Structure 1
Amino acid sequence: MRRSRVRAIALTLLLAAGPALTGCVSAFMVPGPEETSGSAVAVVPPSPVADSPSPFAGTAAIRDFAFDPAGFTVSPGAVVTVTNTGTTAHTLTAQDGSFDTGPVAPGAAVSLTAPGQPGAYAYVCGFHHFMRGILTVG
């Protein structure tokens, strides 16, 4: 009889705490386009880049659990070098899926090509969604 009472109390506590826990978890999730109303982030589909001289290149570093800089501007189609100086793997992934470095190991550097269309592209770390930034193509 005591065991069923303990289970009933545990279930009641879990049901009561559920909404509060959902709010905590959602704070670390990447907002979808419907959740970013009022923000200046444009979701622009990628376009092919015509053969032309090399555009201005950019660099970004990942230092522990932050992008440095968190926001930067490059030319359309620019090659962006991403260096991970932290101690764990990270990604630099566009929320709209237009670019993604894939996992970047500590001490490694990778390159990605910026979208060909001007606009602001929000990005996150695929492993640590609280790490965010904006790549402006202009």
Structure 2
Amino acid sequence: MSLTYPYRGRTALALGGVCALLTLSGCSNSGSGSGSGSGSGDSTAPATTSAASTATSAVPGTARIVIKNFAFSPAKLEVRPGAKVTVVNQDSAAHTVTATGDKAFDTGNISGGGTATFTAPSASGSYSYICTLHPSMKGTLTVT
């Protein structure tokens, strides 16, 4: 069966479009690092490390500490003086974020699944904090 002239042009155009889509979809997935499966490209993706999540510099208005598995994340957070810091408790147990020493900030008890906000001190410096209910949970807020 041979194609007549008008159909050959449409077929070539459709085939070209399919090739272009396949090329684009192949490019968009490379280096995504989603780690979703068994593709051979996944083995060359850079591994993530926990060190990347241990220190974070907060952009104004986005300072956030997440409590999960009885740990603060990030354990070290850098903020501007007077920044608002949101604390999200993803554990089922209650926790606090309480500065040690002069108690420059204290969220009080945050129920499991709850959220609290505190204001970072206005003085620059490094402020150690703990969960008063679970003192082995420790972190540092650096105000710069």
State TM-score, norm by structure 1. Answer: 0.59
Q: Does 1:56 align with 2:83?
A: no
Question: Letter of the aligned partner of 1:102 in structure 2?
Answer: G
Shift of 1:64: 2.2
1:83-106 residue CA offsets vs partner (Å, 9 max, x unmatched): 000110000000020100000001
Residue 86 of structure 2, aligned match among 66, 78, 81: 81
Residue 138 of structure 2, aligned match among 129, 132, 138: 132
**Is there any run of 5+ residues in structure 1 with no aligned partner, and where?**
1-54
Counterparts of 1:101 and 1:64, CA distance in 2: 18
Aligned residues: 84
Moved over 2 A (4+): none
Could you say what secondary structure the match of 1:130 adopts?
A: strand
- Greater Cα radius of gyration, structure 1 or 2: 2
Residue 65 of structure 1, aligned match among 70, 73, 78: 70
Counterparts of 2:76 and 2:88, CA distance in 1: 15
Could you say what secondary structure the match of 1:90 adopts?
A: coil
Counterparts of 2:100 and 2:60, CA distance in 1: 23
Aligned counterpart, 1:34: none
Counterparts of 2:74 and 2:88, CA distance in 1: 12
Aligned counterpart, 2:56: none
**Is there any run of 5+ residues in structure 2 with no aligned partner, and where?**
1-58
Aligned counterpart, 1:102: 108
Aligned counterpart, 1:122: 128
State TM-score, norm by structure 2. Answer: 0.57
Aligned counterpart, 1:90: 95
Residue 111 of structure 1, aligned match among 107, 117, 120: 117
| Greater RCO (CA < 8 Å, at least 6 residues apart) | 1
Could you say what secondary structure the match of 2:126 adopts?
A: strand
**Residue correspondence of structure 1 range 11-22 to structure 2 within 5 A:** none
Could you say what secondary structure the match of 2:77 adopts?
A: strand
- Aligned residues: percent identity? 44
**Residue correspondence of structure 1 range 26-65 to structure 2 within 5 A:** 56-57=60-61, 58-65=63-70
Question: Letter of the aligned partner of 1:107 in structure 2?
Answer: G
